Amino acid sequence: MTTTPVRRAAASALVAATLGASLLGVAGAPAQASGDDRVERSGSCSGPGAARWKLKAKSDDGGVEVEGEVDSNRAGQTWQWVIKADGDLVARGTSRTRGPSGSFSVERRARNGAGTELFTFRAERGGSGEVCAGSVRF
């Protein structure tokens, strides 16, 4: 039996519609559907290195878990960092990049105030001029 061009076109349209609907079901689901309210941003750092930063915030037992990360691909670098919530200090410290990935991350728990808060993360590698800075609203 030979297929006419009209039948082939109709079959192709049906396959495309079915495939499109199934992909929409997977890709169209919001992140909150799984119960995860995580907000995440990342970007490049300034300065001579090729470091990248990442900042995450998510609910944690009535508060907010905030995680800042720097990945420079070089172990042994020392970074001064600070995390703030709406401009108020949450935590500050010094961390050293470790392991084969040459990265560090810090997690701190912040209060969960009324409304949306702006969390910021800033890390600076001493003496290099390299700065990683980012923010998320949660």
pLDDT given for residue 49 in this prediction:
75
Q: Cα dihedral sign for 41, 43, 46, 48?
A: positive
Question: Which whole-number Å values give the CA distances from 95 to 22, 37, 80, 123, in the listed order?
Answer: 45, 27, 7, 9
22/96 Cα distance (integer angstroms): 45
Q: Is 125 helix (H, G, I), strand (E, B) or coil?
A: strand
49/129 Cα distance (integer angstroms): 9
pLDDT given for residue 35 in this prediction:
53
Q: pTM for the complete prediction?
A: 0.72
pLDDT given for residue 7 in this prediction:
42
pLDDT given for residue 23 in this prediction:
32
Q: Per residue in 95-124, pLDDT tens?
A: 999 998 999 999 999 988 888 999 999 999
- pLDDT truncated to tens, each residue of the chain (138 aa)? 554 444 444 444 433 433 333 333 333 333 333 457 999 999 999 987 789 999 999 999 889 999 999 999 999 999 999 999 999 999 999 999 999 899 999 999 998 888 899 999 999 998 898 999 999 999
